[in-house]
């Protein structure tokens, strides 16, 4: 009987779920995690230093919104890839989605981020409706 390998075994190739947001990457990540694989499993939307910096600067420019954790996680994954030996192989999973459906999903999930005044207007309208009842 073979000895059982330890979880997150560094000798196994890491698995990276990598693509733009709103494509289903979180569902794939969670499915891989439920499989209880021995490989390390990562998830990123950005991997280049310039891409990470650009999106981090964007979030820092927004009032009342913090930089999401996945941006910091992308930085760590980028560092790990850079520190990998040439012999280290990575398994990369990339997904695609119809671009219009993807953009609609992004719009509704991030409406407060992209249109902060819309949320304020909705609250004001709700208050006016309540006052006039």
pLDDT in tens, 52-100: 999 999 999 988 889 999 999 999 999 999 999 888 999 999 988 888 8
**What is the average pLDDT score of the chain?**
85
Mean pLDDT of all residues in 106-114: 79
Pair (111, 83) in one structural domain: no
Pair (22, 67) in one structural domain: yes
Pair (86, 25) in one structural domain: yes
Pair (93, 58) in one structural domain: yes
Pair (106, 42) in one structural domain: no
Structure tokens at 13: 């190739």
Structure tokens at 28: 């794939």
Pair (24, 42) in one structural domain: yes
What is the pLDDT, as a whole number, of residue 62? Answer: 87
Rg (CA), the chain: 20
pTM: 0.73
Mean pLDDT of all residues in 41-46: 94
Pair (87, 39) in one structural domain: yes
CB 98 within 8 A of CB 104: no
Pair (59, 107) in one structural domain: no
Structure tokens at 115: 């249109």
Domain region containing 75:
1-97
Pair (77, 105) in one structural domain: no
CB 43 within 8 A of CB 20: no
With CA atoms as reference, report the closest residue to 90 among 14, 12, 3: 14
Pair (88, 116) in one structural domain: no
> Does the structure show a pLDDT above 70 at 133?
no
Pair (50, 102) in one structural domain: no
Pair (60, 2) in one structural domain: yes
Mean pLDDT of all residues in 2-31: 82
């Amino acid at each position: 009987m073979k000895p059982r390998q330890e979880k997150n075994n560094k000798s196994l190739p890491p698995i990276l779920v990598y693509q733009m947001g709103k494509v289903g990457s979180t569902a794939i990540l969670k499915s891989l995690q439920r499989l209880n694989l021995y490989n390390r499993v990562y998830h990123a939307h950005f991997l280049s230093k310039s891409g990470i910096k650009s999106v981090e600067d964007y979030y820092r420019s927004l009032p009342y919104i913090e930089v999401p954790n996945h941006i910091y996680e992308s930085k760590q994954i980028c560092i790990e890839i850079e520190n990998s030996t040439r012999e280290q192989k990575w398994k990369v999973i990339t997904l695609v989605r119809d671009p219009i459906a993807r953009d609609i999903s992004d719009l509704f999930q991030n409406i407060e981020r992209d249109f902060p005044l819309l949320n304020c207007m909705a609250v004001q309208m709700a208050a006016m409706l309540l006052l006039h009842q």
